[in-house]
Amino acid sequence: MQPLKSQKKDQPKQLWWKTGIIYELYIRSFQDSNGDGVGDLKGIISKLDYLKDLGIDCIWVTPFYKSPMKDFGYDVADFTSVDPLFGSMEDFDKLLKETHARGMKLIVDQVPNHTSDQHAWFKEARSSRDNPKRDWFIWKDAGEDGKEPNNWLAMFGGSAWEWDKETEQYYYHAFLKEQPDLNWRNPEVHQAVLEEMRFWLEKGVDGFRVDVMWHLIKDEYLRDNPDNPDYKEKEPTYNRLQPVYSTDQPEVHDVVELMRDLTDEYNERVLIGEIYLPTHQLVTYYGHDNQGAQLPFNFLLLTMDWDSKKFAIAIDKYEGALPNEGWPNWVLGNHDQSRLATRIGPAQARVAAMMLLTLRGTPTLYYGDEIGMEDVNIPKDEIQDPQGLMMPDKDLSRDPYRTPVQWDDSNNAGFTTGDPWLRLSDNYKKLNIKAQQDDPESMLSLYKKLIALRKKEPALHSGLYRPVYSDQQLLSYIREGEGKRFLIILNLSDRDCRFSSERFNFKGTVLLALHAESEGQKMNKSIDIKGNGGLIIELEL
């Protein structure tokens, strides 16, 4: 196979957010330093060496700003502060300094869609109809018979409109009623939020993960959303309607561009967008001429069935839909989705790790996935997540995938000396970081090997992607660049299978395998892949 002409071109210097690996760290559950049972900034500082050793390049820390914690920090009361629960501004400055000192980057969460109802802006807006900040939020008179202004639903259940008795109008909230949505049609809101972002940029943060980017602007006429004919009762009530007027409006791209103009004033900062949309809509968030988000989060690995054929198609569609110069990215887990090892099982979670770290594009890892942490069953009377509490009959609590890191086999897995805010998994005595550090076959050792190889080989972190072959079990593709070519073969089933290389004229040697005994093996006409197996083969050129 000859490299195509267009593929021989010299690659421009790659930016850190293209070649690097991002790690999401859910602050409440990472490491507690003061025994109150909740993770904090000092706790993170004490674990930076672990993250460095793992090989990640950038930490994304979930919200640590002042908050009543109705949605565990995604209800921000003051965006330029640190909640005492997580420490102080000095602690943050130290975290940033120590992260940078280790050659890593740090990005923070930016929550521009809504504030807490305890935010000074909302308190003012709510105080009277003619308050100058009234229009910073979305207020509407009651419809006929005092009804809500339209049929929009909140993500966490119920109507998205809340009646304010004092001023006799409804306000809109896409999430909890304690999270009123900002009005992004008001230019004063732009200025105010951009100033807050500038505060963190001036401190030296390396970028933002922008919360619910696709929600930012709503239809000007607040038209009713249409019904969803495919709705099933077990789903969140929000899914009863198709949110065509409440999300993903064309004007959202102007807002994203404003944010991007701001981050572009600084050197090598990145704007990441949280966006749950089908691929063809998702890629519009790269913006006109790529002046939108550099990394609109791609949640395909998180939201799709674990099926090799479907994946092969989805990857190709995604690669094909990317705008010119648009850089891909892949997300394996986050604090809103069931853990990988629970969704697809521990054996396939290893295959997923190899996929994440060999696909073209920036990988984002979720804390704990590197040791195969699983969802933890949280008894009903211990549920804390508002999504679980608001729709109790639907089993939607996100607590199970937000449990504390299992560091070692000591009390509370070394996470806290106090009572952890969320119970830990019973399996932590066996499944923990310390145990895995000493085991060359462990998930953690696998992650380290894959990360080290990805860092070492330009073909893997910056090279081209070419699909090769897929069937009911296999997914295979090539990564190539700087004079090297790797064939990755993944077995997404638990049955052994064979890859026939003859028709492609491939020859090569297995460099890294999910079953170590395959390493060093030569591939001539074909090669066998064990169930739950995966191979990275260096091809002869």
- Residue whose C-alpha is closest to residue 185's, from 138, 223, 129, 225: 138
Q: Which residue number places its CB atom closest to ligand GLC?
A: 74
Nearer to ligand GLC, 149 or 388 (CB): 388
# residues near ligand GLC by CB under 6 A: 9
* Helical ranges in 224-267 per DSSP H: 252-264
Residues of span 96-125 touching ligand GLC by CB under 6 A = 111
Q: Is 74 in the site for ligand GLC (CB under 6 A)?
A: yes
Among 24, 196, 206, 211, which residue sits at the site for ligand GLC (rule: CB under 6 A)? 211
For the chain, helix (H) and strand (E) counts, in that order, are 16, 19
Residues of span 226-245 touching ligand GLC by CB under 6 A = none
Q: Is 212 in the site for ligand GLC (CB under 6 A)?
A: yes
Residues of span 335-354 touching ligand GLC by CB under 6 A = 335-336
Nearer to ligand GLC, 32 or 211 (CB): 211
Please state, in angstroms and rounded to a whole number, the distance separating the CA atoms of residues 485 and 412: 45
Instruction: Identify whether 419 is a catalytic site residue.
Output: no
Enclosing H/E stretch for 523 = strand 522-523
Structural tokens at position 517? 């005994």
- Write each residue from 403 to 422 as x if it is in contact with ligand GLC (CB under 6 A), else as -, in one continuous string: --------------------
Q: Is 71 in the site for ligand GLC (CB under 6 A)?
A: yes
Nearer to ligand GLC, 3 or 236 (CB): 236
Strands 474-481 and 464-470: antiparallel
Please state, in angstroms and rounded to a whole number, the distance separating the CA atoms of residues 343 and 337: 9
Nearer to ligand GLC, 45 or 256 (CB): 256
Nearer to ligand GLC, 175 or 318 (CB): 175
**Which of 40, 211, 370, 457 is the catalytic position?**
211
Enclosing H/E stretch for 508 = strand 508-513
Residues 81/66, Cβ–Cβ less than 8 Å: yes
* Helical ranges in 181-286 per DSSP H: 187-203, 252-264, 279-282
Instruction: Identify whether 109 is a catalytic site residue.
Output: no
Residues 123/137, Cβ–Cβ less than 8 Å: no
Residues 182/112, Cβ–Cβ less than 8 Å: yes
Residues 105/57, Cβ–Cβ less than 8 Å: yes
Whole-number minimum distance, CB 506 to ligand GLC, in Å?
Answer: 42
Among 64, 92, 121, 175, which residue sits at the site for ligand GLC (rule: CB under 6 A)? 175
- Write each residue from 265 to 294 as x if it is in contact with ligand GLC (CB under 6 A), else as -, in one continuous string: ---------x--------------------
Please state, in angstroms and rounded to a whole number, the distance separating the CA atoms of residues 488 and 467: 10
Site of interaction with ligand GLC (CB under 6 A): 71, 74, 111, 175, 211-212, 274, 335-336
Catalytic residues: 211, 274
